[in-house]
């Protein structure tokens, strides 16, 4: 429990540092071009991703989690192909590379499951959930920038931090 409190202190203090630095750069909420509900969604996905990533370490060892997180390109490709406003198409060689990456991950996971005492299916499910949220996050940010080109990175960081700070 003390660890969780310390993590919250670290996260919230870094949020205040972000807000202070953004304020020094001259950004104010009056310069916002997107509605707050956009940033509530963005912040919820970001917090879910961070929570699942940190929580998965209770069930997976760090090398296994790192291996899973390194495959982030897969869900990003899949989400990019289906999200309205993006509908990306990838060449066949990228799909082949993605399949080879998945096969390598499966082999690593099977080997790690037999050697590592801290390997659990729950951890795998949590880290996969974090990957899906990560891929949705990146694609959602891109959609926001495409739908409203006046959006700045300062606005996105400011609003996501303000919404996520109380959490």
| pLDDT tens track for 104-119 | 877 877 776 666 656 6
Give SS3 for 149: coil
Q: Could you tell me if 143 and 79 are in contact, meaning their C-beta atoms sit under 8 angstroms apart?
A: no
For the residues 147-159, what does the mean pLDDT come to?
A: 86
Model-level pTM greater than 0.85? Answer: no
CA atoms within 13 A on the CB side of 127: 25
What is the predicted pLDDT for the residue at 167? 60
With bands split at pLDDT 50, 70 and 90, how would you rate the model's confidence at 11?
A: low
Q: Could you tell me if 33 and 151 are in contact, meaning their C-beta atoms sit under 8 angstroms apart?
A: yes
In the block, residue with structure tokens 């203090």: 13
Domain boundaries, the chain: 2-164
What is the predicted pLDDT for the residue at 10? 44
With bands split at pLDDT 50, 70 and 90, how would you rate the model's confidence at 126?
A: very high
| pLDDT tens track for 29-48 | 888 899 989 888 888 888 88
């Amino acid at each position: 429990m003390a660890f969780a409190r310390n993590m919250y202190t670290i996260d919230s203090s870094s949020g205040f540092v972000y807000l202070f630095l953004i304020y020094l750069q001259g950004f104010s909420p009056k310069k916002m071009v997107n509605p707050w509900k956009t940033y509530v969604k963005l912040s919820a996905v970001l917090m879910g991703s961070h929570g699942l990533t940190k929580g998965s370490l209770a069930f997976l060892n760090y090398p296994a989690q790192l291996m899973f997180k390194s495959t982030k390109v897969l869900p990003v490709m899949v989400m990019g192909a289906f999200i309205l406003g993006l509908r990306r198409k990838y060449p066949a060689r990228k799909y082949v590379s993605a399949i080879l990456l998945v096969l390598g991950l499966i082999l690593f996971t099977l080997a790690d499951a037999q050697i590592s005492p801290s390997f659990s299916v729950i951890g795998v499910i949590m880290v996969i959930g974090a990957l899906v949220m990560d891929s949705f996050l990146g694609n959602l940010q891109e959609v926001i920038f495409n739908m409203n080109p006046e959006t700045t990175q300062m606005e996105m960081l400011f609003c996501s931090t303000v919404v996520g700070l109380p959490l």
